[in-house]
Amino acid sequence: MSVPEHIPSLTSEFVSTAGGYRALREQAPLVQVKLPDVDTPMWLVTRYAAMKELLGDPRFVRDAAKLSDQEGPSVVDQMIEAYGLPPEFGDYNGILVLSDGDDHLRMRRIITRAFTARRIAALRPTLERLTGELHRTLSAGRDAELLEELCYPLACAAICELLGIVEIDQPQVRKQMMDAVSGEPGRLVPAFTSMVERSKALIELRRENPRDDLISTLLHVAQEEGDFDQKQITAIVMVLIDTGVGPAAHFLAEMILALLDHPDQVTRLRDEPELLRTRAVPELLRFTSSVPVGAPVYATEDLEFAGVSIKRGEAVIPGLLAANHDPHEYPDDALSLDVGRELGTGVGHMAFGHGPHYCIGAALARLEAEIVIDRLFLQGDAPQLAVDRDDLEFAARPGDGVHLTALPVRFPPLADHPRSWR
């Protein structure tokens, strides 16, 4: 790859303090960047239309191993080594997240047989009950830290309920996930290893004692498929825990912060509660985009894309946050939050990706968001930040922007008779 003398590195400082994503998007729909600790330069897609085209283009694949003539480790392999992850991390992600074509479609079809709309909808009463209990406990104490005390417990409970992890074990799963997203090898690696072992043990337990949960359904499907084995089921469980707890919890926290930053939008939601499901949650997903960049894809041939010549084997990464703030797609002030915004055809944003790898857990994320907004902002008086806005702390996650480390709030006294928009 021909590398310019200077290309930007997607450090959290760059994308937050320098307005990096905005600057890159204004520069071109495709720009060359580097991730910290990764030697290989890559292309970043910065605009919505190019992103949609990329994620549906069969000339790009996620599995770098398909490019057998390429030398050196892939971008993902370099990131695994740089961040101190065990090699098995790539094996488990490779089964679903980094697969392509017929292999990926088959695995996705198997998962969707277990991860059904009915199963997600059935979670609503449990998640509403848990959110209500957490809210009552936190508001009674007045001061609370919502990321650890509300967002992580709710996101973890949702995935654990789906998988059949009993309530008594859920705090340990939650701790492991918080260790995993810390980015600290001393916490991350043991957490990953423990999650793998826990997943394998749960699979064996459900093999002997099946229940009405996702793992039991996957085991039943495995019997029908024949060559669908424990390693693949473990990979699915790991992916669901990895993507369904940490990112979901941080989305909820950043969604709450966005509403606290925009009290006028909360007022509008109270006046027009029907917007919650139809427009507000999709807009908050667009606005926050808690997964700023997606998994890299690789060109399978020399090609032209978005006006740039890309060589076979070069990596391209989807800038999901950059695309979601693209004024070409959202001409009515793309950088503002508008809970009544009409997003257009389809999903209307890239927070869950697009195409064959569109997030399987999208419906669950939307459900969690609806429940939290309803409870915190529509059923009673909303909480307020317990610290100055400028005193909130954010953690650097290489190549992935910045994320809240805590969301301290102060609750008003809990109303005796909470109102609801439903």
The CATH number of residue 77's host domain is: 1.10.630.10
Do 215 and 237 touch, CB atoms closer than 8 A? yes
Q: Does 346 reside within a domain?
A: yes
Task: State which residues form the domain around 76.
Answer: 12-410
How many domains, the chain?
Answer: 1
Q: CA–CA separation, 63 vs 135, rounded Å?
A: 43
In percent, how much of the chain has pLDDT > 90? 45
7, part of any domain: no
417 falls within a domain: no
Q: Which residue has the higher pLDDT, 39 or 126?
A: 126
Query: Which own/partner pairs from 86-93 qualify as long-range (CB within 8 Å, at least 24 positions apart)?
Result: 86/189, 86/192, 86/193, 88/192, 88/196, 89/192, 91/231, 91/235, 92/196, 92/234, 92/235, 92/238, 92/239, 93/235, 93/239
Query: In terms of C-beta density within 10 A (0-12 exposed, 13-18 middle, 19 or more buried), how is residue 236 classed?
Result: buried
385 vs 196 pLDDT, higher one:
385
Burial class (CB in 10 A: 0-12, 13-18, 19+), 347: middle
Task: Kindly state whether residue 228 falls inside one of the protein's structural domains.
Answer: yes
**pLDDT for res 4:** 47
* pLDDT exceeds cutoff 90 at 7: no
Q: Are strands 42-45 and 315-318 parallel, antiparallel or unpaired?
A: parallel
Residue 421 lies in a domain: no
Is 1 among the domain residues? no
> pLDDT at position 401, please?
60
Q: What is residue 75's predicted lDDT score, i.e. its pLDDT?
A: 67
Give the confidence band of 384 by pLDDT, cuts at 50, 70, 90: very high
Residue 376 lies in a domain: yes
